Structure 1
Amino acid sequence: MKFIPHSYQEYAANHILNNPAAGLFLDMGLGKTVTTLTAIDDLLFLGEVNKILVIAPLRVAEDTWSTEIDKWDHLNLKISKVLGSVKERTIALNIDADIYITNRENVDWLVERCFKNWTFDMVVIDELSSFKSSKAKRFRALRKVRPYFKRIVGLTGTPAPNSLIDLWSQLYLLDGGKRLGKTISSYKEQYFTPGNRNQFVVYNWNLKEGAEEAIHNKISDICISMKAEDYLNMPERIDNEININLSDRIINKYKQLEKDLVLELGEDDITAANAAVLTNKLLQMSNGAIYSENHDVVEIHEEKLKALLDIIEAANGKPVLVFYSFKHDFDRIKSFLKSKKVSATGLEDSKDIKKWNEGKIPVLLVHPAGAGHGLNLQYGGNIIVWFGLAWSLELYQQANARLYRQGQKENVIIHHLISKGTVDEDVMRALGSKEINQNTLLEAVKARIQKYKS
């Protein structure tokens, strides 16, 4: 296919060409991959770089980059996928190629193996926000070899989904600490004040007055940000909340579990870890089943399953993409739909992506963490159902962007199944306010404590 770039893609490609360290904070659907590949092709032709490393989420590394290269006529790039077993990765590293693609879980191994003879002079990080933790092994490993990069490109649609705290490590990989400081501590000290805390544990950081603008100004020379609605003539996105009315018997069971778990924690024991355990239990129950202490699945209700079936039947043969939260959700959905003569398939590999986009999968079941970045599913359907909700705003946004992105021809309908009177309502409100962070979850749990203690 002939590539005729949009003006914003030309601008983004030139930004890469003109900046040895470049951040592209491009909204989902703006074609980050083909834009970056076009710039890489030019840099190779000019002799600016010789060997490029692309780090991406696993499914993106397996499928997206190679698919884009095959798709466009102007790209004559040879790739090697450094994936799989240690033996397979080692063989892939020894293949003569222009671009070597690996998944982010292999970064630590790759740096350790190649550190003494680092030959990659350009690194592309696709999805840069997956390096937002300065404590993660992948960040520390890449930090060791950062001085050897002649060029680096960071791609993401959500650089700071939770807080501008998330920007520091990402910018450090781009510029070595020139703009936001050499340490996360100095960054926090300069731009933030501590928010809620439990002794020495700070749950959230509040921006100082004028800090947000100052941070944006600091990074604006090497980072560009683009929103899809500003550049694309996108179809309409329709968000629909479907309220699930649970019976009094189920609601009473839910409230009893909520009360037992909350009171068992106690206010002094509320941490991010056990607050997450509590809310996950409640989310499971609102979906219709819960894991027992013996890891057995205890069925509670089928109300969301029935609502899902209604949506599938109303779609009248159109494919439906379903996001689920827990393993028992997947099993229950598949079993329930099978009993109703409806075929549902999980997303396993690139073959499933191809079949979906060809309209050969009526119902595709996907965990949002497995389809968070880079997967092009917009050609196979326009209907999304959130069977189970999650607290992560980043996963929520990225998952929806699998259908609501460039190339989608129809209005995208996003159904959210909300069990009334449950934690589903809290999550939906938080997603709507775009303020998902650790503090949101903690405050939700603390509110429950006050309710049951009063």
Structure 2
Amino acid sequence: MEFVPHQYQEYAIQKIIDTPAVGLFLDMGLGKTVITLTALKELDENYFDAGKILVIAPLRVAQDTWSRETEKWDHLEDITISKILGSRNQREKALKADADVYIVNRENVPWLVSMTGSKWPFDTVVIDELSSFKSSKSKRFRALRRVRPLIQRIIGLTGTPSPNGLHDLWAQLYLLDQGERLGKTITGYRDRYFVPGRRDGHIVYEWKQKEEAESRVYDQISDICVSMSAKDWLDLPERIERMVPVNLSTSTRKKYEQLEKDLLLPFEDGDITADTAAVLSNKLLQMSNGAVYNEKKEVQQIHNEKLDALEDLIEAANGKTILCFYTYKHDLARILERFPQAKKLEGPEDISKWNKGEIPLLLTHPASAGHGLNLQDGGHNVVWFGLTWSLELYQQANARLDRQGQKERVVIQHLVAEGTIDEIVAARLADKTAGQDALLDAVKARIEKVQEG
């Protein structure tokens, strides 16, 4: 296929060429992979300035997305790719192979750094989903930080650079400019742009942004970071979101309310306990979906109402494909048992079959399909069997279908158990404030209300 870049793509390509350390904060569906590959090809062939190229990506993206983009576009078809994936022997063999682009999953970055050390061979590094390096304490960040001085060009790609606030930006920007704009240390960054919030003595549990911190930070990084929104550049089909209420039976509701009130639900096979707000919120989400892990880590079946609701949606789809997001392993097991035609997304072959319309019900966890997978050719119906409190995962997951190339109206349906924590999560997602802290605050408020009652 011939690549005819949009105006924003031409701008982004040139920005990569002109900027040795660049962050492209591109909304889902704007084509960041083809933009990056086109720029790298231009740098290599016309500027002789790419050197040896490494792409760091989520596992499924490393397995499929980058190689599929080279196969899709005519101008990229001569690019050879070596995937540093699999067993240690497979990774070592791929590292020694002759290729234009090497791809490694982010979990293997510490291994790759330890393997190469001071002989780090890559001149250009692309971090696909830069936001996955937002923690300065993570092994992957610390490993890449060690070899950052040896990298000549670095490209950071993400649609959600700060899903939980400005605090997420420091580590990502450090990998781009080694602390030039936001400081050499996370401590210094906090001192400049935050004030301590909730604390216990010297231990600070929460940092609050100073007034105008956001504008000051964005001003500091604007010369090397570009942010683009899909709604400003793409004429995408309409997207419809609806909540599908799931009514729980009287007996199920009593069990739910007992667990919520007493933090303990007794069963003959093993009690279900929840001793903190975080654990309780997790248990209540499980119960809303229909099954819960008990104290023996066994699955305790509670109800089938969401399975029944999913069956209704499948029937209403009238043969059209559905991409269904589940939360827990017992969700997956119960859906597969109920719907033999369903298939769990496990690799590139499943992606290909889905995009050909050969899988009627594709099941995946939002964390597994949250970044980079192009599924828009296979359908336009999304069902959330269980909700996530991560706004980043939620937005990224929906963008697997709601993205450039989608030709149909995207319909996103959420199975929401009435009178449960599902409604709290759905409300947080709707007002774009979802996140673990917001959810736990809501759960704590709910606990206090129940106990007062």
Contact 1:262–1:448 (CA under 8 A) maintained in structure 2:
no
- 1:294 maps to 296
Change (3 A) 1:123 1:274: farther
**Alignment match, 1:359:** 357
Deviation at 1:23, TM superposition (A): 0.3
Structure 1 residue 429 displacement after superposition: 1.2
Find the counterpart in structure 2 of residue 239 from structure 1: 241
Partner of 2:410: 412
CA contact (8 A) 1:163 1:437 kept: no
For 1:27 and 1:201, the matched residues in 2 are separated by: 36
- Structure 2 distance, partners of 1:197, 1:383, is 45
Partner of 2:56: 55
Tell me how far apart the structure 2 counterparts of residues 351 and 131 of structure 1 sit (CA, whole Å).
Answer: 28
1:448, distance to aligned residue in structure 2 (A)? 2.9
Q: 2:424 touches 2:439 (CA, 8 Å); kept in 1?
A: no
Deviation beyond 4 Å, 4+ runs, structure 1:
198-201
Per-residue deviation at 1:450?
1.5
Match of 1:88 in 2: 90
The 8 Å contact of residues 246 and 305 in structure 2, kept in 1 or not, is answered as: yes
Q: Quick one: distance in 1 between partners of 2:450 and 2:324?
A: 35
Q: Which residue of 2 aligns with 1:266?
A: none
| Residue aligned with 1:124, SS | strand
Q: Is the 8 A contact 1:239 1:413 kept in 2?
A: yes
Contact 2:390 2:436 in 1 (8 A): no
Alignment counterpart, residue 105 of structure 1, candidates 90, 104, 107: 107
C-alpha contact (below 8 Å) 1:275/1:441 kept by paired residues: no
Residues 9-47 of structure 1: CA deviation (Å, up to 9, x unaligned): 000000000000000000000000000000000111121
CA distance in 2 between partners of 1:17 and 1:280 (Å): 46
> What CA deviation, in whole Å up to 9, does each residue of 1:310-369 have, x standing for no partner?
11100000000100000000111111123xxxx111001100000000000000011111
Q: CA deviation at 1:126?
A: 0.2
Paired with 1:412 and 1:197, the residues of 2 have a C-alpha distance of 44
CA RMSD after TM alignment: 1.4
* In 1: Cα distance, 2:63 partner to 2:258 partner: 45
Deviations 1:207-256 (A, max 9, x none): 11111100110010000000001000100110000111112221111011
Amino acid at match of 1:219: I
Does 2:21 match 1:21? yes
C-alpha spacing 1:324/1:293, structure 2 compared with 1 (3 Å) = same
Per-residue deviation, 1:202? 3.6
In structure 2, the partner of 1:270 is none
How far is the alpha carbon of 1:275 from its aligned partner?
3.1
Name the residue aligned to 1:320: 322
The answer to whether the 8 Å contact 1:50/1:98 transfers is no
Deviations 1:110-131 (A, max 9, x none): 0011112111000000010000
1:181 corresponds to which residue?
183
Q: What is the deviation of 1:71?
A: 1.1
| CA distance in structure 2 between the aligned counterparts of 1:384 and 1:200, rounded to whole angstroms | 46
1:125 maps to 127
Residues 427/31 of structure 1: CA separation in 2 closer, same or farther (3 Å cut): same
CA contact (8 A) 2:260 2:447 kept: no
Offset at residue 445 of structure 1 (A): 2.8
Partners of 1:323 and 1:408 in 2: CA distance: 19
Q: 1:137 is aligned with what amino acid? A: K
Kindly state the Cα deviation for residue 453 of structure 1 after the two structures are TM-superposed. 3.3
Separation (CA, whole Å) in 1 of partners of 2:311 and 2:197: 44
Question: Quick one: distance in 1 between partners of 2:72 and 2:334?
Answer: 38
SS at match of 2:102: strand
Partner of 2:375: 377
> Take 1:420 and 1:197, find their aligned partners in 2: how far apart are those partners?
36
1:346 is matched with 344
Structure 1: unaligned runs, 5 residues or longer: 264-272
Q: Give the structure 2 partner of residue 168 of structure 1.
A: 170
Asked if 1 retains the 8 angstrom alpha-carbon contact of 2:16 and 2:155, the reply is yes
Count of residues in Structure 1 that have an aligned counterpart in Structure 2 = 441
Q: Deviations over 1:239-288 (max 9, x none)?
A: 0001111122211110111122289xxxxxxxxx9433221111000001
1:201 deviates by 4.6
**1:73 — aligned with what?**
74
Q: Superposition pairs for residues 123-272 of structure 1, below 5 Å?
A: 123-261=125-263
Structure 2 CA distance for aligned equivalents of residues 418 and 31 of structure 1: 33
Q: Which moved more, 1:42-51 or 1:394-403?
A: 42-51
CA contact (8 A) 2:389 2:436 kept: no
Aligned to 1:370, what secondary structure does the other structure show? coil
Alpha-carbon distance in 2 for matches of 1:251, 1:13: 55
Q: CA deviation at 1:67?
A: 0.4
Provide the residue aligned with 1:268 in structure 2.
none
| Equivalent position of 1:450 in the other structure | 448
Give the residue type in structure 1 aligned to 2:393: L
Q: TM-score scaled by structure 1?
A: 0.95
Q: What secondary structure is seen at the aligned counterpart in 1 of 2:367?
A: helix
